[in-house]
Structure 1
Amino acid sequence: MSAQIVATQPSIEVNRVAASYAERNEAYWKRNLAIAVFGSFTTLVSLSMLLPFLPLYVEQLGARTPSAIVQWSGIAFGATFLGTALTAPLWGHLADRYGRKPMLVRAAIGMAVVMSLIGTAHTVTQLVLLRLVAGLVGGYASAATVMVGTQAPRERSGWALGVLSIGALSGSLIGPLVGGFLPDLVGIRGTFFVGGGVIAVAALVTIFFVREDFNHEWDTRPPPGGSDDATGMAHKGLIVTLLVTAMMVLLANMSIEPIITVYIAQLGVPHEHLARMAGIVMAASAFGSMLTSARLGSLADRVGSNKVIIGCLLVTALLMVPQAFVTQWWQLAVLRGLMGMSMAGMLPAVAKGVRALVEDRKTGKTLGYLQSAQFAGQVIGPLIGGQIGAWVGLRDVFFVTAVLLVLCAWLNRWANRQDTSLLAPHRAG
């Protein structure tokens, strides 16, 4: 009897390893999702809380003229997103080779250290470089997307990614609020040390409580029958379309950013209230997304990613148009909130669609490219909106963005007709 028990042990071990990555981590993914939401929330709070006082810090570091302060503030804020966009595919590739948890730990520790160092900057150049390094070595939310997107069961991945996005969105909302009063308590430089400490807590929670069953030999091995390169090439057109869609989501949301204060001023808002009203309008879309992100992600699990993506693109385009005709600032805020609700389902559905098209051993790298596409949208959106607003007209920004969204919906429909892998709900998840 004892010999029989011993003989079965290798077979049990082989079956455990032979199971897919998601199957082996089935017992952990919900707890890991909760920790990832917490970590994404804390890191985004720390990164975004400098918005209210960034111009003041830039001035302290040597910028003297108003134009120089505005210019360097924009460069310093965007440097982090640029850094993340550049390295997200690399970290995703390393996550495929060495596991998802190490990338979360790396991002949290790196951001905690660099965030604290920002509080020691002595020149504007140092501030920009440190913000860039924060993006290059950080990206906790991106690493969390890779982990959740690969660990959650395929039939629940849309919902899980939707829940994860709530952490990042809420962090981006609350961060500026915290940054509005924290410098009065600890000083501007002290605020960065507090932010670094908060991220350090997220790092410790990640180290001690995230569980992962990763087998380097099995999880990096090509599927039985040869390489999966042919599978990737077969879906290349649809994967590129999904990356373009991810970029378009952020482009549409950010296109109004450069003109929003001027646009609200044209609606009759007194100058002394412009900043507050503009902040409300900017936050409205993120708040709307928080309300529906998980629900629309769950809908993608039931009906398929393709339907949710196309539907959300068209509804968002429709909601863009009346924003050009508002007469009160609160009307714009309501429409932006509704637009956020319709946009919320696109990113989880896109990530879910990407996972359905890529083998597990390459999912991290591909989701890294997805993160880069999103950050590219954050950069391109304000550029397009600013140029159109300056040379054509403020209201035309909404019309152009609506047209781009409709074209993106058509592109998704066309690409899915060429590749029917996402038309059936059970194959989309």
Structure 2
Amino acid sequence: MRNKINKLFFRKKETWEKNLLVLWFGTFMTGIGFSLVMPFLPLYIDTLGEFSKRQLNLYSGLTYSAMFIVMAFVSPLWGKLADRKGRKLMLLRAAFGMSIVIALMGFVSNVYQLILLRLLQGVFSGYVSNSNALIATETPKKNSGKALGILITGNITGTLFGPLVGGVIASLFGYRPTFIITGIILFLVFLLSLFFVHEDFEPVKKADVQNSMQVFSQLKNKRIIIGMLVATLIIQLGNFSISPIISLYVRELMKNSGPITIASGIVASLPGLATLIAAPRFGELGDKIGTARILKIGMLFATCVFIPMSLVTNVWQFGFLRLLIGVSDAALIPAVQTLLAKNTPPNATGRIFSYNQSFQALGNVMGPLLGSTISGYWSYNAVFFSTAVIIFTGFIWVVFATKKHN
């Protein structure tokens, strides 16, 4: 046992392991930065002017979605630049830009300035996708599944814990200081990335950079690459379809009494705990039995978990099922990232991972819109059934996309 502990903590780490440690923290803080405003965004907007209920809902939706809409369009541009200039440079651009933009959100005087800054936050996206690309290209192939499985827990866990962290900081210090504190932490991410992330990269001349059609034409496994991009959209659409109704569903289960806000925060964050524990293990298992197999099992498992969510009678049952969703999350996005890494040549990794981030952003926008629409026309229960159908459709798609591939 002592030898194992010494080997794990005290042996000299390889470069890719040092990169992984720094980038895990960076993606964790990026996830928090992208999601911490969720518990108090409408409340913060309400302090910026006199709004009717309809106006407040409209501005809240616009402010939340603005970042993801921009991300969907600019990510491929940053991916192309990453393939030419290197992924580390893109990490520094994203971290520094986010630190400034998020800190400035604490100084706005009206909602239009806030929406503009959220748009700019989308422009400075790319930390996560370039972290994935850098780890994919700098890590030995035999360790890539495990490394990407560990890395993805950073962003997923940060995104899931972000609302809880944001709520706590806002309650202690207020809305405006929350943005400033987050900006300071992201500037620390910039410094850590600058001094401790190492990349072996030879700049490519602009004339030698291939366009998107050339990149896809040279891919050996086009069906898998395209399949994984669509799978990312389906997974995010499914996961985010229930995000607008979680707190409302919790309130209904608690019969509108008790610590609803705290219970909602805990329920929303539970998947992060399960993902943090399970993702590295699924990544390692995928290296042994096949990553595509892990992805298909994860989608079937998620389908089976979403269905009973509509049948629960108390918040404890709902919380337990949310914990199980965290297990399925640990098998989904990390597996997609690994399959992309294993089937993409190094000179196109940045581009492909940026496309994947675009599809992820589209899912982040479409999911809440779908969930809100379904719950508005039918009920909360219908959202969970429809999400199960979406994920099962994704399973069928993945079976087709990964045919004859483990």
TM-score higher than 0.5: yes
> Greater CA radius of gyration, 1 or 2?
1
Please name the residue that 1:320 is paired with. 306
Flag the 1:135–1:415 CA change in 2: closer, same or farther, 3 A: same
Residue from 321, 324, 329 that aligns with 1:338: 324
Please name the residue that 1:397 is paired with. 383
Q: Would the aligned equivalents of 2:307 and 2:384 in 1 still touch at CA under 8 Å? A: yes
Please name the residue that 1:362 is paired with. 348
Residue from 171, 174, 178 that aligns with 2:165: 178
Shift of 1:218: 9.7
Deviates most, 39-48 or 98-107? 39-48
Please name the residue that 2:4 is paired with. none
- Partners of 2:29 and 2:332 lie apart in 1 by 23
Residue from 73, 87, 92 that aligns with 1:105: 92
Please name the residue that 1:207 is paired with. 194
- Partners of 1:286 and 1:259 lie apart in 2 by 18
Q: Would the aligned equivalents of 2:254 and 2:260 in 1 still touch at CA under 8 Å? A: no
Flag the 1:182–1:398 CA change in 2: closer, same or farther, 3 A: closer
Are 1:42 and 2:42 matched, yes or no?
A: no
SS class of match (1:395): helix
Are 1:133 and 2:152 matched, yes or no?
A: no
Q: Would the aligned equivalents of 1:104 and 1:144 in 2 still touch at CA under 8 Å? A: yes
Please name the residue that 1:239 is paired with. 225
Please name the residue that 1:155 is paired with. 142
Q: Would the aligned equivalents of 1:84 and 1:136 in 2 still touch at CA under 8 Å? A: yes
SS class of match (2:310): helix
Q: Would the aligned equivalents of 2:236 and 2:360 in 1 still touch at CA under 8 Å? A: yes
Shift of 1:201: 1.0
- Partners of 1:313 and 1:114 lie apart in 2 by 36
Residue identity matched to 1:54: L
- Partners of 2:72 and 2:217 lie apart in 1 by 27
- Partners of 2:231 and 2:71 lie apart in 1 by 19
Please name the residue that 2:357 is paired with. 371
Shift of 1:125: 0.7
SS class of match (2:402): helix
User: What are the within-5 Å matches in structure 2 for residues 32-111 of structure 1?
Assistant: 32-111=19-98
Q: Would the aligned equivalents of 1:228 and 1:359 in 2 still touch at CA under 8 Å? A: no
Shift of 1:248: 1.6
Shift of 1:90: 1.6
Q: Would the aligned equivalents of 1:146 and 1:364 in 2 still touch at CA under 8 Å? A: yes
Q: Would the aligned equivalents of 1:220 and 1:361 in 2 still touch at CA under 8 Å? A: no
For residues 129-178 of structure 1, give each alpha carbon's deviation from its aligned partner in whole angstroms, at most 9, with x where no partner exists: 10110111233222212211222222211211111122223323443333
Are 1:307 and 2:290 matched, yes or no?
A: no
Please name the residue that 2:5 is paired with. none
Flag the 1:413–1:116 CA change in 2: closer, same or farther, 3 A: same
Please name the residue that 2:251 is paired with. 265
User: What are the within-5 Å matches in structure 2 for residues 22-37 of structure 1?
Assistant: 27-37=14-24
Residue from 160, 171, 177 that aligns with 1:190: 177
Residue identity matched to 1:335: L
TM-score (norm 1): 0.84
Q: Would the aligned equivalents of 2:153 and 2:330 in 1 still touch at CA under 8 Å? A: no
Shift of 1:399: 1.9
Q: Would the aligned equivalents of 2:161 and 2:269 in 1 still touch at CA under 8 Å? A: no
Please name the residue that 1:350 is paired with. 336
- Partners of 1:51 and 1:403 lie apart in 2 by 27
Flag the 1:269–1:155 CA change in 2: closer, same or farther, 3 A: farther
Residue identity matched to 1:395: N
Deviates most, 41-50 or 360-369? 41-50
Residue identity matched to 1:121: V
Q: Would the aligned equivalents of 2:164 and 2:265 in 1 still touch at CA under 8 Å? A: no
For residues 176-204 of structure 1, give each alpha carbon's deviation from its aligned partner in whole angstroms, at most 9, with x where no partner exists: 33333434554432322222111111111
TM-score (norm 2): 0.89
Flag the 1:190–1:393 CA change in 2: closer, same or farther, 3 A: closer
Flag the 1:181–1:349 CA change in 2: closer, same or farther, 3 A: closer
For residues 71-102 of structure 1, give each alpha carbon's deviation from its aligned partner in whole angstroms, at most 9, with x where no partner exists: 32232122222222222222122111111110
Q: Would the aligned equivalents of 2:253 and 2:315 in 1 still touch at CA under 8 Å? A: yes
- Partners of 2:168 and 2:265 lie apart in 1 by 15
User: What are the within-5 Å matches in structure 2 for residues 224-303 of structure 1?
Assistant: 230-232=217-219, 235-303=221-289
Residue identity matched to 2:48: L
Q: CA RMSD in A?
A: 2.4
Residue identity matched to 1:166: T
- Partners of 2:191 and 2:100 lie apart in 1 by 13
SS class of match (1:325): coil
Flag the 1:395–1:219 CA change in 2: closer, same or farther, 3 A: same
| Structure 1 portions without partners, runs of 5+ | 1-25, 424-429
Q: Would the aligned equivalents of 2:75 and 2:125 in 1 still touch at CA under 8 Å? A: no
Residue from 379, 384, 387 that aligns with 2:370: 384
